[in-house]
Amino acid sequence: FRQTPEIDEKLGDSLRAMFCDSIELSGANWTGDVPAEFEKRRGYALAPYLPFILDKDDPKDDSMLADCVRRARYDFSRTLVELFHERFLWPFHHWCHEAGTLSRYQAYGHPWLMGMLDGYMAPDIPEGDTWLFNSWDPLDGIRYAVWNKYASSGAHLTGRPLVGCEAMTNTQGVFRATLEYVKQATDLSVITGVNHFVLHGFNYSPPSAGFPGWVRYGTYFNEQNPWWPHFRKWADYCGRLSWVLQESRPHVQVAILGPTADVWSRDGLDRSPFVYTPAYLHLMWQAIHQNGCSADYVNRSVLEKATFAGGKLRFGPMAYDALIVAGVETLEPATAEAIRRYAQAGGKIAFVGEPPHRSAGLMNARANDERVVRAMRETREASAERVVQVSEPERDDLLAWAGSVLAKLDVPRSVRIDAPHERLYQVHHKQGDRDIFFLANLHREEPLAFEAAFDAPNKTAWRWDPETGARSVFARKGKSDAFPVTLEPLASLLLVFEPGSSTEAGRPENQVDRSDYVTLSAPWNATFKHAILKTEFERTFTTLCDLAQMQAGPLRTFAGTVVYRTEFDLADAGHTLLDLGKVYDVSEVTLNGRPLGVRWWGRHVYDAAGAVRAGRNVLEVAVTTTVFNYAQSLKDNATAARWTRGKEPLPTGLLGPVRFHRAK
């Protein structure tokens, strides 16, 4: 990273940050001076152990040989990580500053456990990623991955205001992604701690490239995408929400320590064991957030440098109320002794499974084992109430398990939710005397209704709407501290608690009365405006249907905007909520000449009060589709075929039923 004459010394005048993508080191594990560096750092020669520590078949026994190999493998892994950080990461970071820019860095990759938290504590902008359409991810194919949580943990511990995200990377559904899916992935990323989205990706293409242009992997953020004119809706939402989170600071109660030393001892710097050692480790943070607290991951260096007083684990700007030691058998003696000091300072600790009982590394192994065992014994002796041992959770029982652990440790919760749910998440931030809460329902189909009590006494709750920028008082339940909350599918809620009271009366949002409605049955005239071909044609429908299920023709392969129009009579104007039923994908409604707005996620329900009237009404619904079905029809277009072959057509258009409901 030596400065060269070709690089302007003031890059920062034009560039905010220099970026290093994810570390794809594969099997790289050697430089010429590794043996010398190993001996200098670890105190013994590497060569006699090298064939054994590189063998991925870990001895499945407790023999002295197996123990020796594991300790040497740990030492080798630690040495490689130290060298990588000293010779690449920190020089990159300092080079960025010398050039006048910030450093932006992704500390995950291959191997995953390449000192990831330490890596994320180095750059100015730690960055994770979010992928769409990953079939092995249980939450609707969104790969929000634990490295986002490590990126935010690194930022929290070092006081960095930005947590970046390579957002909406997409290797399977380039043309299939909807704005609704993008919002779902955005909200989930925000829960992980991300507050700065770098979209992946916009592929500039000259007109001569034709449709679909130059396409690499990434969501099709492109002017040829039919929903591109509505992209501003997401940008406004994401921009406002990100600004609030960037200008505030996270309130996190729980620190989690995982078994890095055990992974390095058994598997070295390998990719496969990261998520599954133990199986619950990198799902645990989610269950904690679902139970009204927040969590960060910590490691050996954090604990050894932390200070402890008044029951708090302090590092940088963070002060944690509890530490969960998750499936850890092996520790450096200094780490074990730091945990002991925390317990003796009033700390709350939960050991998942047996407490650590062995040291890492080969030198002075027996003496170091005794230090670890002694430190753990003294940790347990510090307090039977504050230091507990809990059983490992089952993967499908994490929600209840995390709630019971938080209760055992008596960890103060940011939000007390009467009905925690595995798709209901929250995060808590603070800005001066403001308390900021973001809640999200990540379920696509089910609304979630619950009561929530927020840790923000003697303050007024304001709802800030990231879509519009509007704010209003959020209604309590009578005079109690509880707030009745209903989050529709994929809905989110940004609440800002401010000191004092407000003269504005809080009013609950209108709820749809599903039992009192009028269904529209009149025929629909539809105008089809093709986004790519720039053609226009009309059809009449007596029944609304999925256009993708039509016989071969322009409807089945349509991509663009369909404007549905109908006229109907109502006996009275009391049914003020218009529910479009199933819509694929973005809808925009005009009733009797009055625009009612745009819906680009969740249920397509509109407040028609003031627009609906007794007697004759004229309704217009413009539905904008994805480009996928059209792209799939281009059999001779190699680029389009590459990203669509082997997949079913996507549901398209307004399916209904379209109903007017009374509000509850």
For 89-104, write each residue's pLDDT tens digit: 999 999 999 999 999 9
Structural element, H or E, at residue 96: helix 90-98
For 606-655, write each residue's pLDDT tens digit: 999 999 999 999 999 999 999 999 999 999 999 999 999 999 999 999 99
Q: pLDDT value at position 552? A: 75
Query: CA–CA separation, 410 vs 385, rounded Å?
Result: 10
Structure tokens at 43: 């105190």
Structure tokens at 161: 């205001």
- Contact between 351 and 325 (Cβ < 8 Å): yes
Rg of the Cα atoms in the chain: 28
Query: What pTM did the predictor assign?
Result: 0.95
Helices (H), 230-353: 231-246, 260-267, 284-290, 300-305, 333-344
Q: Across-strand partners of 529? A: 536, 561
Q: 566-591 burial, b for 16+ CB within 10 Å, e for fewer? A: bebebeebebbbbbbeebbbbbbbbb
Q: pLDDT value at position 60? A: 67
DSSP 316: T
DSSP class per residue in 617-645: EEEEEEEE--SHHHHHH-TT-HHHHHHHT
Burial (Cβ within 10 Å: 0-12, 13-18, ≥19) of residue 661: buried
In sequence order, the 6+-apart residues with CB closer than 8 A to the CB of 307 are: 314, 315
Nearest to 659 by CA among 587, 604, 609, 596: 604
Low-confidence ranges of the chain (pLDDT < 50): 1-2
Q: pLDDT value at position 144? A: 85
Q: Is the dihedral of CA 153, 154, 156, 160 positive or negative?
A: negative
Query: CA–CA separation, 170 vs 204, rounded Å?
Result: 17
Q: Distance from CA of residue 287 to its chain's centroid?
A: 14
- Contact between 239 and 199 (Cβ < 8 Å): no
Q: How far is CA 108 from CA 168, 418, 474, in A?
A: 17, 36, 40
Q: pLDDT value at position 4? A: 53
Query: CA–CA separation, 381 vs 340, rounded Å?
Result: 10
DSSP class per residue in 35-94: HHHHHHHHSS-SGGGHHHHT-SS---S--HHHHHHHHHHHHHHHHHHHHHIIIIIHHHHH
Starting at the edge strand found earlier in the chain, the sheet holding 415-417 runs 415-417, 448-454, 482-487
Structure tokens at 524: 């629909």
